[in-house]
Amino acid sequence: MGKLLVWSLFVLMFFLHQDFWWWEESFLVFGFLPIGLAYHAGFSLACSVLGWLAIQYAWPEELEKFADSDDKSSHP
């Protein structure tokens, strides 16, 4: 379930990155920050959360087990 959630959120974030709905707006957030830049700041924070979720729920543990194994004869 974890990997499916992470991949689904990744695809959603991929499409949300294309913020064409803010291109024509001149609205300022907090009176100085253009809405497109504020959107991407929030998007960057959301990507950080997605990265944390990926590490927590979709990390390939079999690679760590392989790297931590004491049997060095299976690789050159």
How many Cβ atoms from other residues are within 10 Å of residue 3's Cβ?
A: 12
User: Is 60 exceeded by the pLDDT of residue 75?
Assistant: no
- Total number of domains constituting the chain: 1
- Residue ranges making up the domain that contains 63: 2-67
- State yes or no: pLDDT of 65 exceeds 80: no
pLDDT of residue 24: 84
- Alpha carbons 32 and 35: distance in angstroms, whole number: 9
Confidence of residue 76 (pLDDT cuts 50, 70, 90): low
* 40 neighbors 29 (Cβ within 8 angstroms): no
Question: Under a CB-based contact definition with an 8 Å cutoff, are residues 30 and 71 in contact?
Answer: no
Domain contains 75: no
pLDDT band at 42 (very low <50, low <70, confident <90, very high): very high
Q: What is the DSSP letter of 59?
A: -
Would 63 be classed as within a structural domain? yes
Within a domain: residue 51?
A: yes
- Average pLDDT estimate for 34-54: 94
